[in-house]
Amino acid sequence: MALITMKFGGTSVGSPEAITSVVGITGDEVRRGNSVIVVVSAMSGATDMLLGSVREAVTGNRWAYLNAAQKLRERHEEALNLLAPAAPSRESVKHEVNAILDQHIELCNAVSILGEATPRITDAAVSFGERMSARVVALALRTAGVEAQALDATQLIATDANFGSASVHWPETNAAIEAKLQPLLDKGIVPVITGFIGATADGHVTTLGRGGSDYSSAIFAAATASDELIIWTDVDGVMTTDPRIDRRARVLPYVSYQEVGELAFYGAKVLHPKTVQPILNRQIPLRVRNTFNPAHPGTLIGPTNEPAETVIKAVTSIRSVSLLTVGGKGMIGVPGIAGRTFLAAASAGANILMIAQASSEQSFCFVVMDDRTLQVKHSIESALEEEIERQDVDLVEVLEDVAIVTAIGSGMRGTPGVAGRVFTTMGSNRVNVVAIAQGASECSISFVVAEHDLKQAVVALHDLALEAVPVT
Ligand code: ADP
Ligand code: ASP
Ligand code: MG
């Protein structure tokens, strides 16, 4: 008998039909004699609606958030009516869903009076999507004869108070999971746990970052030493590139933890970038599979690096980023400028996605998401105020409307000429490369292009990746 943790994403729980597949997949595992932990996202679109409601509340638009709450109410009630038409507990689950939405409206009322939403209130409001979907899925399972119980991860995942992107406190999390999850599993009950959320020691709800349910499921898989983690989504597996950018994208049968880490970090939405961290040391196999095509074996993700023949296995991209350049003749040999720059960027709340330095030491550049650009620029300019005044450093230059494109493959390590091939391809496609960086792991090469060149760059590189992938 195996213990399997399974996560179902937003589309997989986004309609009564999709939840019927979730019930089928889960029920099959239980009937095979396996213990199952289910982790769910909010119904597709719910998280965006909840966030939108909070933004509307800030501007005092009461009608907008009441309307959003009403739509969410109808969607969840409709799912309950269709999935559990005769269940005795249906009314009590409806009542719970309504109570959750009432809390959401109360929060929005408070935000609208204050005229601002703190990250703490936003996290509380946005957590309601997963809280509702977990209850719906658990009832659907019970109705189909699978013993299941909805659980809020607020009582299982302990985090710091970094609202919006909280970090896990492992000892407390492991202890809570052992104490609260194990007894359910021992009784043969399937816990249906909210993804995406946790709580601080003093009980405030936190979130793990957008798309964070993948990470939640890896936390549960690691803490329970699951035999396997399966992430059920709306595509057949991890693909050679984003199928929305290039329809020729193919499913990769196998990807290493390291490769998938790079893929996710550099923009492949299919997995949250932190997903592999908890399962890496325990070497828990991870599979990405399609809820709507369960016959497909999906992608297996494991510890060994199996190079593809073409070396480049996958291509990813990130839009809506800016390139910041710090440069100046007086920078040569002056220690600490880079260090202070990156500290300043961090204090402006920016995640640095890529760094490149010219060998002359006269400048270096790095990439951050657009929404942070101005704060980062100002923060660096004040940290380097003296150097700028002495004209050792010029003003911080910002290049907007750029994108990062990344080629990934563990076979790049020790294979000469990969970078040459990548940039020759860009040249022959007339794509201008603005900056280049290679990961220290030598498992990826990233470069910056103008945003209008993104699609062409991805498609041209993707040609190289496609050469080695079998058509399935
Ligand atoms: P879920 O709601 O199941 O978490 P997401 O929308 O977060 O699903 O992620 C799945 C989506 O990721 C796919 O529908 C696909 O459009 C997108 N995607 C981007 N890059 C890739 C890739 N390399 N492989 C597979 N899917 C990708
Ligand atoms: N519902 C959350 C989001 O949309 C978390 C997730 O789906 O993984 O970001
Ligand atoms: Mg996702």
CATH code for the domain of 122 = 3.40.1160.10
How many whole angstroms separate alpha carbon 199 and alpha carbon 43? 21
Tell me if 102 is assigned to some domain: yes
Q: Is the CB of 14 under 6 A from ligand 2?
A: no
Asked if the structure places residue 257 within a domain, the reply is no
φ, ψ for residue 22 (rounded to 5)? -60, -45
CA of residue 159 to ligand 3 center, whole Å? 20
pLDDT of residue 439: 74
Helix, strand, coil percent content, the chain, rounded in steps of 5: 45, 20, 35
**What is the rounded distance in angstroms from the CA atom of residue 141 to the CA atom of residue 23?**
6
Q: Indicate if 341 and 225 belong to the same structural domain.
A: no
Q: What is the pLDDT of residues 264-295, one digit of tens each?
A: 999 999 999 999 999 999 999 999 999 999 99
CA 275 to chain centre: 8
Query: Mutate which of 7, 12, 41, 234 to test ligand 2's pocket (most atoms within 8 Å of Cβ)?
Result: 41
pLDDT at 254 over 80: yes
Q: Domain of 63?
A: 3-234
% the chain with pLDDT above 90? 86
| Residues 52 and 165 occupy one common structural domain | yes
**Identity of residue 153:** A
Q: How many A from CA of 230 to the centre of ligand 3?
A: 13
229 and 337 in a single domain? The answer is: no
Q: Report CA(395)–ligand 2 centroid distance (Å).
A: 38
The residue ranking higher by pLDDT, 197 or 442, is 197
Q: Which two tokens stand for residue 53?
A: 């409601």
Rounded to whole angstroms, the Cα distance separating 459 from 405 reads: 11
364 pairs with which residues across the strands? 326, 357
How much is the average pLDDT of 180-192? 97
Tokens found for residue 305: 């690096």
Q: Are residues 85 and 226 both part of a single domain?
A: yes
Nearest CA to ligand 1 atom 19: 242
Residues 229, 318 within the same domain: no
* Average pLDDT estimate for 201-220: 98
42: amino acid identity, one letter: A
User: What is the spatial distance between Cα 433 and Cα 449, in angstroms, rounded to a whole number?
Assistant: 5
Per-residue pLDDT of 137-167, as tens digits, reads: 999 999 999 999 999 999 999 999 999 999 9
Residue 211 Cβ inside 6 Å of ligand 2? The answer reads yes
The CB of 42 under 6 Å from ligand 2? The reply is yes
Each residue of 75-92: b (16+ CB within 10 Å) or e? bbbebbeebbeeeeebee
Average pLDDT along the chain: 94
Residue 297: inside a domain, yes or no? no
Q: Whose CA is nearest to atom 1 of ligand 1?
A: 9
Asked if 210 and 324 sit in the same domain, the reply is no
**Tokens (6 digits) for 467:** 């050469």
Collect contacts of 370-376 with beta carbons under 8 A, ≥24 apart.
Answer: 370/320, 370/321, 370/322, 370/400, 371/320, 372/348, 373/322, 373/324, 373/398, 373/400, 375/348, 375/349, 375/350, 376/324, 376/344, 376/345, 376/348, 376/350
- 351 versus 208: the higher-pLDDT residue is 208
Pocket flag, ligand 1, residue 319 (CB < 6 Å): no
- What is the pLDDT averaged over residues 154-181? 98
Cα–chain-centroid distance for residue 187? 32
| Exposure on the CB side of residue 417, measured as CA atoms within 13 A | 2
Task: Tell me the pLDDT tens digit for each residue of 332-365.
Answer: 777 788 899 999 999 998 989 999 887 666 889 9
Which pLDDT score is estimated for 469? 54
Which two tokens mark 171?
């000892």
Least confident of 221-225, 366-370, 413-417: 413-417
With a 6 A CB cut-off, is 195 part of the ligand 2 pocket? yes
pLDDT score recorded for residue 192: 98
Residue 440's pLDDT is: 67
Q: Rounded to whole angstroms, what are the CA distances from 365 to 55, 341, 370?
A: 33, 10, 15
Residue after which a domain boundary falls, among 183, 205, 234:
234
Cβ of 237 below 6 Å from ligand 2: no
Other C-beta atoms closer than 10 Å to the C-beta of 184 total 17
Domain count, the chain: 2
One domain for residues 36 and 128: yes
403-413 average pLDDT score: 90
Give the CATH number for residue 362: 3.30.2130.10
Q: Is the domain of 80 the same as that of 227?
A: yes
Instruction: For residue 53, report the distance from its CA to the centre of ligand 3, in Å.
Output: 21
- pLDDT of 366 above 90: yes
Sequence-ordered alpha helix ranges (H) in 250-304: 257-265, 276-280
199 and 68 inside one domain = yes
Ligand 2 atom closest to the CA of 10, numbered from 1? 7
Closest atom of ligand 1 relative to the 314 alpha carbon: 23
Looking at the CA of 134, name the nearest ligand: 2
- The answer on 218 and 357 residing in a single domain is no
Element (H, E) at 151: strand 148-151
Under the banding of pLDDT at 50, 70 and 90, the label for residue 468 is: low
Work out the angle between the directed axes of helices 16-31 and 128-143 (0-180°, nearest 10): 60
242-267 average pLDDT score:
95
Work out the pLDDT band at 44, boundaries 50, 70, 90.
very high
Residue 283 belongs to a domain: no
The C-alpha atoms of residue 331 and residue 444 are separated, in whole angstroms, by 29
Residues 146 and 191 sit within 8 Å (Cβ to Cβ): no
Instruction: Output the pTM of the full model.
Output: 0.94
Q: Pick the last residue of a domain from 208, 234, 260.
A: 234
Q: Are residues 210 and 344 in the same domain?
A: no
Distances (CA, A) of 267 to 217, 244, 262, 314, 403: 20, 13, 9, 11, 11
DSSP at 431: P
Among 242, 250, 469, say which to mutate for ligand 1: greatest number of ligand atoms within 8 Å of CB: 242
> For position 176, what pLDDT does the model report?
98
Classify each residue of 37-62 as buried b or exposed e, where b means 16 or more C-beta atoms within 10 Å of its C-beta: bbbbbbbbbbbebbbebbebbbeeee
Among all bound ligands, the one having the nearest atom to the CA of 270 is: 1
At residue 395, does pLDDT exceed 90?
no
Whether residue 433 is contained in a domain is answered as yes
pLDDT at 470: 53
Q: Does residue 471 have a pLDDT over 70?
A: no
Confidence of residue 308 (pLDDT cuts 50, 70, 90): low
Q: Which of 41, 217, 266, 269 to mutate to test the pocket of ligand 1 (most atoms within 8 A of CB)?
A: 269
**Is 187 found in the same domain as 82?**
yes
Structural domain ending residue among the three candidates 209, 234, 259: 234
**What is the C-alpha separation between 405 and 247, in angstroms, rounded?**
17
Closest ligand to Cα 8: 1
Measured distance CA(288)–CA(286) in Å, rounded: 7
Look up residue 161 and give its amino acid.
Answer: A
Predicted local confidence at residue 360, as pLDDT: 66
Q: Which-ligand-closest: CA of 195?
A: 2
Q: Which of the ligands is closest to the CA of residue 49? A: 2
